[in-house]
Amino acid sequence: MKLGHAMLNQMKQHLEQTYPYEGCGVMLGKDNAATEIYRGTNIRQERQEDRFVLDPADIVNAEKYAKQQGIDVLGFYHSHPDHPARPSATDLESAWESYYYIIVSIEKGKMGTIGLFRLSEQGNGFIEETITFED
């Protein structure tokens, strides 16, 4: 998947602002090239430092926005505050087929590593994908 630098900067800003809690949102673009994010709200009431629930209204609004712009919802992103950018068992439980998932490690309030994943065909794990950064 290709990620635009402007989109990456927006994601970085969003996820650093939500620290020490998990931030989340939707990735938008076309043909496996993510060019925009739609900031989401973590509506989880407890354990926001290591769990998130993306507000369903944000998903609906992101889909409407994408349709208006002639782009697609490519997947979702969220942060792991002070933890590695690797999927957790909780991430696996909530993953949907055919979408990309970006996990960003936020270490002491600053963006660390980024991981890109897709659900395996069997749905029992994630496959790590390659990220290409471009303008």
Which CATH number goes with the domain that contains 98? 3.40.140.10
pLDDT at residue 134 in the model? 86
Q: In this structure, are strands 24-30 and 110-119 parallel, antiparallel, or unpaired? A: unpaired
pTM > 0.85: yes or no:
yes
Per the structure, the count of domains in the chain is 1
Q: Is the C-alpha dihedral spanning 117, 98, 75, 18 positive or negative?
A: negative
Residues assigned a catalytic role: 22
Which residues form the domain of 92? 2-134
Per residue in 19-44, pLDDT tens?
999 999 999 999 999 999 999 999 99
